[in-house]
Amino acid sequence: MIERVGTTPFGGGRMSARVFARQAKVAERQEKLQAGTGGNDTGRADKWQLLRALTEARGHFGLSDRAIGLLEALVSFTPDRELDGSKPIIVFPSNRELSLRARGMAPATIRRHIAALIDAGLLFRRDSANGKRYCLRGDHGDVEDAFGFDLSPLALKAAEILSLAEQARAEAKALRLVRTEVSLHLRDISKIITAALEEVRSGDWDQFLMRFHELSFGALPRNVDAPSLRSLRDRLVAFRSEVENAYLSSLSEEEMSGNDLQNERHYQNSNTDLPFELNGQETSEGAEAPGKPEPRRVAVSLERLRRICPQIGDYCSGGMKTWQDLQRAADLVRSMLGISPDAWAKAKKAMGEQAASIVIAMMLERAEDIRSPGGYLRDLTAKAERKTFSIFPMMQALERNRE
């Protein structure tokens, strides 16, 4: 039978019924471990793995990071890597040494965190008659008795701490997923409202913008709790549906019924016609005016464009499979390049939406070399307005650079 020693605090410290009950429970469990009747319970744990798990589960125990830091300092005074909770694990550092290992923690702060660790059931006091921490050694230098802090409760809680750490990791992962959902909803809603305002769509988009600001302002505080984040996610899902429906309602019948072939365009100037892809084949379209010489035609396929301008594909959510995918990606990329809605609208009018989108794809490839993307596009737009713009030399130059 294990010898029960007095563990009441020295001086003015009070003994509580809860601490006394914990001491009795720990002593009973240690008796079983020493007698070999603990079953699968070994009462042993790697101290550094245990501290790592406790750091993850500290919220359950109501401990601050500084309290964990102090416990780590106390654990560092044990010589063995493995904590054996089948018997008392007494450490007896001086106040000065404990403060040094706790990164200069003040004595008053140490006392406060010691109390928190005891309250969490991870530590017991074993005070000497005069409150000093020390050990008594035998003739051969072995420690026969010691007074200080008992770490055996920490070792005996290993299974609980490891389980709570796993639970905390799962909760943190779930929270990250919800936070990601919230971020994506905020981004998509912002894009739709911005597009509607730039395109001067019918609808109360100023009101939608105000509501968006109300939802997004402080929407992701650093220490937001899971229920609040899920509530925000649900509100954003409903708001996104409302915004998408309003945008779809603003589209014309032509925009709603348009398919890939209807939206594929070709553009003609003094140098070239810009063709489109039909059933995977490169083709060129457009009747020449009577009496005019046939212009030089250039075949441009999506496959060739993907090879020359691979970066634009990163901005297509499902990959760049159609010209419409390219046009949607170009709308996003032009904003990232700092090109104003006005410059973009003029470029599409002068070049055609498909040609302008290809220009944006090529500008993205050369983003580091173009000092003013907005000015560069305006210059190309002016050439297109004078019928002197050709996309073919630009593509050839970029293609040569990739060889």
Residue type at position 179: R
Structure confidence at residue 33 (pLDDT)? 82
In the listed set 238, 255, 272, which residue is the last one of a domain according to the structure? Answer: 255
In the listed set 231, 255, 279, which residue is the last one of a domain according to the structure? Answer: 255
More confident residue, 258 or 159: 159
Q: Convert the pLDDT of each residue in 72-84 to its tens digit.
A: 999 999 989 999 9
Gyration radius from the chain CA atoms: 36
**What total number of domains does the chain contain?**
3
Show the DSSP H helices in 36-137 as ranges.
47-56, 58-61, 65-75, 95-101, 107-119
For residue 93, the enclosing domain spans: 17-156
Residue type at position 52: R
More confident residue, 390 or 271: 390
pLDDT tops 80 at residue 284: no
- The first and second tokens of residue 215, run together, are 């939802």
Rounded Cα distance between 286 and 267, Å, is: 9
Neighbours of 251 (CB within 10 A): 14
Strand ranges, E, within 276-358 = 276-278, 281-283
pTM for the whole thing? 0.51
Whole-number average pLDDT of the chain = 79
Strand partners, 124: 150
Same domain, yes or no, for 275 and 220? Answer: no
**Nearest CA to 320 among 332, 209, 115?**
332
Give the chain's largest Cα–Cα span. Answer: 119
pLDDT tops 80 at residue 93: yes
Name which of 121-125, 131-135, 141-145 the model is least confident about: 141-145
Q: What is the mean pLDDT of residues 375-391?
A: 87
Q: Convert the pLDDT of each residue in 152-162 to its tens digit.
A: 999 999 999 99
Same domain, yes or no, for 21 and 137? Answer: yes
Say if CB 178 and CB 233 are below 8 A apart: yes
Same domain, yes or no, for 233 and 129? Answer: no
Same domain, yes or no, for 274 and 295? Answer: yes
Q: Is residue 166 in a domain?
A: no
Q: Residue 31, SS3? A: helix
Give residue 293's pLDDT band: very low, low, confident or very high (50, 70, 90).
Answer: very low
More confident residue, 387 or 16: 387
pLDDT tops 60 at residue 124: yes
